[in-house]
Amino acid sequence: MEFIKTSLPFTFSTMAASLMGAVDTAVVGHLGNYTYINAVSLGAVIFSTVYWLFGFLKISTSGFAAQALGQHDRKLLAGAFIRGVLAAFGIGLLLVILQEPIWRTALLLFNPDAATRPMLEQYYRMLIWIMPLTLVFQTAQGWFAGTLHVRIAVLTALASNIINLLLDVLFVIVLHYEVTGVAAATCIANITGFLAILYFYAKHKPLPLTAVPLRKIFSGPTCRQMLQCGSHLTVRMFCMIIMVNSFMHQSSAFGGELLAANSILFQIQFIMGDILTGLSQAGAIYSGIAFGEHDRSMLNDTLRISFIWAIGFGLLQTVGYYCCRHAILGCFTNLHSVIATAQKYDLFIAFFPLISALGIVYYGVFNGALYTRPICISMLLTAGCYLTAYFTLIPLYGNIGLWLAFLIFYIARSSFLLFFVPKLQQRVALV
């Protein structure tokens, strides 16, 4: 039960970004036109792509923090925070500078219709300016996750989501700012999260920031290890980006109503995946501590418990969604035609948690060990399977073929990563 006590708070923390997207979609989904859903969902995919591409910042920071915790080294703890936050802020500034080519690339990928494009651009132009703060917020959350500061992870996630929900209602329902209001609410919520996370670090910092020289933070074997992990995880993120963006590109090609239905189902799977990611975070922490202490028995226990809870939570979500599917879809929109279209394909989402559980949870165990090469290799193989299915099944079965390719991606992801578990178990004694 200690594993679950650790994972549940991190589930709330990890769900912050996807819940914001889900709330945003649900609010505009009741405005009476599916064009609003398409604009917000495509905007959410653009920024989810960025978060995934640079997700290695949060993940590697969490892994380094967990190992520093296992070694009881306060300088390593502070160094992990400073290194991650500075890298996140620098990358965020670069994204702001490159916002125009990013926007043009998004237009080429999604090709939104004339009604969707101006609203999508409003959403994008507002959120891109706070990318440095958003990436710092997410990276710092990884540090708190790795150091087992459970309440902080929960409070910052809850605060940002509650603020987003309240401001969505105020700006969209009361003041009728529509997509601009949704973007403004998300910006304010992320800025609040950024300020809150800095406050909590100032309150709980292991050492003053000046106690660890910058030349030590960005030099030596630790920095090389971070770059190596970052390169492996960037490949993994790139494979995820291929899947998500090709999925949404094809959904857009199917037309506005089908795009809206697929977008709602995708928001639901984001939330399902984040619930499993809470278990993944717990696995990363205990794996990191096991490697920090060179404790093979603890690693084996982490693998065994992760397996049991991954299957259990996956099955629970599958059954839960199947039983409540009509009510869940109704939360996202009151457009009956969109709901009816989504119901034709939502059984694919029902099976998603059970199929994806092991790949998502064991991904965290490998991350905590900072053994990321298997993640890179398994994701490249997974992307190959997905693209083969994508180009084979869609011409034959249309949107059903698209969802089949989606499930094949997650089946392959779980299967390939399991091959590397024995090597992970051997590695802990060698670190």
Mean pLDDT for each 10-residue chunk of the chain (431 residues)?
63 64 76 81 79 72 74 76 87 93 87 85 92 90 76 79 87 86 90 89 67 60 63 80 88 85 87 81 81 84 90 93 90 86 92 92 85 90 96 95 96 93 81 52
Average pLDDT, the chain: 83
> Tokens 């989904």 sit at which residue?
29
DSSP 148: T
Q: Which domain, by its residues, includes 150?
A: 2-427
207 three-class SS: coil
Residue-level pLDDT at 128: 93
| Nearest one of 111, 412, 43 to 250, comparing CA atoms | 111
Residue-level pLDDT at 230: 67
176: exposed, middle or buried (Cβ count in 10 Å: 0-12, 13-18, 19+): exposed
Residue-level pLDDT at 31: 78
CA distances for 375 relative to 93, 174, 237, 360, 418, angstroms: 28, 46, 10, 11, 10
Distance CA 331, CA 30 (A): 9
Q: Which helix (H) or strand (E) holds 429?
A: none
Residue-level pLDDT at 12: 64
Vertex 382: Cα angle to 278 and 223 (nearest 5): 60
DSSP 324: H
Distance CA 92, CA 160 (A): 19
Residue-level pLDDT at 370: 76
177-194 pLDDT, tens digit each:
888 888 899 899 989 989
Residue-level pLDDT at 89: 93
Residues 6+ apart with CB under 8 A from 25: 37, 40, 41, 44, 263, 264, 267, 332
Residue-level pLDDT at 228: 67
Both structure tokens of 85? 């936050």
Distance CA 308, CA 302 (A): 10
> Tokens 């492996």 sit at which residue?
232
At residue 66, what is the residue type?
A
The string of DSSP codes covering 170-212 is IIIIIS--HHHHHHHHHHHHHHHHHHHHHHHHHHH-SS-GGGS
Q: Please report, in angstroms and rounded to a whole number, the separation of the first and last CA atoms in the chain.
A: 28
Domain total of the chain = 1
181-237 pLDDT, tens digit each:
888 998 999 899 899 888 888 887 655 655 566 666 656 565 666 666 667 777 887
